[in-house]
Structure formats: structure tokens, C-alpha cells
Amino acid sequence: MSARLPIIVVGGGIAGLVTAIAAAPTPVLLLQRSPQSASRLAQGGIAAAVAANDSAQAHAHDTAVAGSFHNDAAIVDLLTRGAASAIHWLETLGVVFDRDADGNLQLAREGGHGQSRIVHAGGDATGARVMDALLAEARRSGHVTRWSSVEVDGLMLRGDHVCGVCLTREDGSREALHGRAVVIATGGIGGLFAQTSNPAEADGSGLALALTVAATMRDLEFVQFHPTALALPGRHSLPLVTEALRGAGARLLDSHGVPLMARVHPMEDLAPRDVVARRVWQAGRQGGAWLDARGIGSDFQRRFPTVFEMCMSHGIDPRQQPIPVTAAAHFHMGGIAVDADGCTSMPGLYAVGEVACNGVHGANRLASNSLLEGIVFGRRLGMRLRSLPDIIPGSGNFRLVRRGPALTTARLTQLRELLMAAMGPVRRRAVLREASQECLALAKEGWQGGVACALIEAALRRTHNLGAHHWEDAEMPGQGASLRQFA
């Protein structure tokens, strides 16, 4: 590690790795507690308007429609205009995207997109292929040092500036580290729900860090549920059944074999995720839901190898029988409030990726915009951090602000069930108010309870339906931004 003061990046998924790589030649110390990440599990691909009949403006329009026009139009513009460049940059790092016989990028379609614009690498193994390329680049780069199996459980401040972290190793030893800046890139909160497509480690740890120093939060109530996780009773982290299957013609069915999305939305099975997730959620309480992908036929294994192997390992042949599916916590549109450059309300503290909220996703994320977000805004943040001076920011005495203890296993299981019931695709005020009281007690025992309280409080403040925040007993629909903002 260079003797120069590093940028400290907390989190080793796509957003954290891209930020670290883009910060060259400034030294970066990347800290992660687990080699697993939601980025590696991503199947859907990367949305990019690269077809001749497509445009960044059309991509922005679809992003805004999916987000119920709660999006920040300027940030959406940065995302969609930067998509083609992001694909090219990944190719320079060695990512091999799927192409047709003529050498053109194969473009798939997913829910909420007006046309095919999803780029894949290795079919439904896109997240893993991108992660492999980024890790290889980080290893080649002399400026990035990675430490694994460390838990960042506190922030160091000097005055009102964040200037370092406190970490705990597997053996229980602790260390405080100085940095010229701290970047939180810890991913989402799906692990706090009883059913999730995320790894258990996606538990809001980064939000908890930011909450300890009173960093401003934004849109915490907007939690996206993926409508097609593989239904495995008793499991916490559920395998994902990619939305690209519906883009290839698969249909959702109820327990009687009736199409679930018929007459529910003009786009039917390719409606935005919040709409489909609510319908699957309701069907799950009325006998279950299934995804019928038999029409894909013998080509299934080649086009969707991850889903095929996963289904077969659980005794399901997707070529011969419908796949049982359920809605599972998938992506957090809200998070630590940041601007276009990843700056939080706390000097010296930055955030990027799913843990951050710059307004790009609005009230509901458009499919395959998540990896794109990590790449576009990770590169932007990394390049900004290059110019930071090699000094410890702030003045005066140093102080450590710790996140506090974690919940016991039993209490964490209780919290997951509580959030699943209260903060699911369909919400009820009475249930949320009761959950708020229970969370206050849990917050006294562990930091996960504090994160849950912040989520529930945000949901209770938003009194009308908007995107993924849907009241069963809503008085009237919420109002989003004008379509003209995205014209």
C-alpha cells in the first residue's frame, strides 16, 4: 500500500470497484466483509440505447415512467447518455458481451422498456462476468489495495469532516484508519427482509454507518420487489428468475393456469416491476404464482444457463413445467442522499450504487438500470476523487462514531418477518404503525433495528401511493413529476 493517504471505499460490488478503478492513480483501500455481493448475482444485464432505432431520450422516458416521474430528470439524463460509453469502457476491460452472427450486440427486452436495449454477457451471467473483469482490473492496478473479511463498523470524524473508518477483523481485533475521503458502496437492504433475491450481507450496513453521523437520507420508503424469485419455502435468500425470460415470451400464471397480467396493465407481463410484483404478491396469497417459460423450448439452456441450472438443481425442468415464483425484496431505490458526484451532506463522506440515492430511479427502478448506475456514477465519482488533496480533512480533535452492536440471530429473524409484513409490495397503515413500535424496541438492541425504523418512518410520512410504495388503503394516488421534464 502506498504511504500516501488513501481514499477508503467500503464495499466490493460493482459500484465500489468501478469507483476504485476510476480514481487512478490516487491510492485506494477497498474494504469488504464478504466476497459475495448482489452485483455478482445480477442476471438481467445492462440497459443501453445502442440500437440504431433507439435513443438515450427514449431510455430516459422509460426510466421516468417506471419511476412514476419521481426521478431527477438531470440525473436520469446523465445515466442514459452515459450508457453507451459504459458498455465500451467495460469492453476495454475485457467484458465480452453477447453478439449475434453478424457481430452486433444482442439486445433483449425487459419489463418497462419500450424496446430491446438490454446488453448481456454470458446470457444471464452478466453480473458475474462484469465482476470478474473489474476484479482483474483492480488486481492489475497498482493503486488499489483490497482487504476482505473486515467489518467497517464506525466512522472517524475531525470536526464535521469524515476522515476515516473503524474496522473489526474476523479475530475481533480493531483498527482505525485515516483517509482523504470515505466512500460507502455497501449495496442494499434486501437481507433485512424474510424473502430476498439478495445475499444476506445486503443488510443496510452502509445506511447504518451514515445514520450514525446524521447524514441526510432520501426516499427510504421505496423498496422494489422482484416479481419472479424462485419460490422455495423456508429459504431467506432466493434464487432469481430473470425478467429476461418474460422478455423472451414467458407468461405469469395463477394457480388455475390463468395469465396473471392479462388486463392488469397494457404491457402485461412486461409491465414495470412494482405492478407485476403486487400482482404476484396477491397471487401468492391465493394459491401461488408460476412462470411458464416452456415456449422457449430446447434453446433454454443456452440462452438462460443460470436459471436452467438453478431450476434443475431444485427438481424443476423449465422446458417441461412452469416455474414456481414469488415476490422478494430486490432493490432499494432510496438511500443516502447524494448529488450527481456522490457527495453526501457530510463533508468527506461519499456514497455510490444502491446504498446511495441521487434520484435516478425515482419511485421504482427500471429493469437493468442498476448495474448501469454503478458503472456510470462510480466512474464519475472516482474521477472526482482523483483531485482530492493528500491530507486528513477537517480540523481539531478526532472522534470515532460507532454503529453499535448487531441484533442476535433470533432478533434478526424477527425483524425480517416484521419488515416483510409491513414494508412489502402492498402496505397497510395499521400494520406499519404497529411495526414502528416493535422496531423502536429492536433499535435499542441492534443497528439493524435502527435502519428498519428509518424505513418505516419514511413510509408512514408518504401518505399516497407512488411507485413501489403502495397503500392497500390509499386515499388517492400520488402525483409524480410532469412528463414534460423528460421530453
* pLDDT tens digits along 207-233: 999 999 999 999 999 999 999 999 999
Q: Please count the structural domains in the chain.
A: 3
Q: What percentage of the chain reaches a pLDDT higher than 70?
A: 95
Domain's final residue, options 272, 293, 328? 328
Average pLDDT, integer, range 453-481: 80
From the CB of residue 444, how many other CB atoms can be counted at a distance below 10 Å?
10
* Same domain for 59 and 39: yes
**Mean pLDDT value across residues 63-67:** 95
More confident residue, 328 or 482: 328
Among candidate residues 117, 251, 273, 279, the one labeled active-site is 273
For residues 271 and 184, the model is more confident at 184
Question: Using 50, 70 and 90 to split pLDDT, how confident is the model at 477?
Answer: very low
* CATH code: domain of residue 138: 3.50.50.60
C-alpha 123/C-alpha 239 separation (Å) is: 16
Q: How far is CA 19 from CA 1, 183, 240, 352, 358, in A?
A: 18, 9, 27, 8, 16
Residues 373 and 323 in one domain: no
Q: Do 47 and 368 meet the contact criterion of CB atoms below 8 Å apart?
A: yes
Taking residues 150-169, what's their average pLDDT? Answer: 96
The pLDDT assigned to 36 comes to: 64
Confidence category of residue 38, pLDDT binned at 50, 70, 90 = low
Residue 479, in any domain of the structure: no
Any idea what DSSP says for residue 53? Answer: T
For residues 181 and 165, is the Cβ–Cβ distance under 8 A? no
Q: Is 115 helix (H, G, I), strand (E, B) or coil?
A: coil
Q: Mean pLDDT over all residues of the chain?
A: 92
Summarised one tens digit per residue, pLDDT across range 162-200 is 999 999 999 999 999 999 999 999 999 999 999 999 999
325-355 pLDDT, tens per residue? Answer: 999 999 999 999 999 999 999 999 999 999 9
Domain C-terminal end among 289, 309, 328:
328
Whether residue 31 is found in the same domain as residue 42: yes
Q: What is the pLDDT of residue 487?
A: 39
pLDDT at 102 over 70: yes
CA distance 224 to 188: 11
Which candidate, 471, 470, 418, 468, places its Cα nearest to that of 443?
A: 418
Q: Do 294 and 197 share a structural domain?
A: no
| Band (474; pLDDT cuts 50, 70, 90) | low
Radius of gyration of the chain (CA): 21
Closest CA to 272 of 7, 477, 468: 468
Q: Are residues 314 and 396 in the same domain?
A: no
Phi, psi for 330 (deg, rounded to 5): -130, -45
Q: What is the mean pLDDT of residues 119-146?
A: 92
Q: What pLDDT, on the 0 to 100 scale, is given for residue 42?
A: 64
Residue 44: pLDDT over 80: no
Q: Is 279 annotated in the active site?
A: no
Domain assignment present for residue 249? The answer is: yes
**Within this chain, do residues 363 and 437 fall inside the same structural domain, yes or no?**
no
In a domain, 482, yes or no: no
In which band, very low, low, confident or very high, does the pLDDT at 92 lie, cut at 50, 70 and 90?
Answer: very high
Residues 19 and 158 in one domain: yes
**62-76, 173-187, 299-313, 372-386: range with lowest mean pLDDT:** 299-313
pTM, full prediction:
0.91
CA 176 and chain centroid, separation: 28
Residue 486 lies in a domain: no
**Assigned C-alpha cell, 65:** 415512467
The DSSP string of 219-285 is -TT-EEEEEEEE--TT-SBPPB--THHHHTT-EEEETTS-BSSTTT-TTGGGS-HHHHHHHHHHHHT
Range of the domain at 254: 227-328
Q: Of 283, 291, 276, which Cα lies nearest the Cα of 226?
A: 276
Domain membership of residue 484 (yes or no) is no
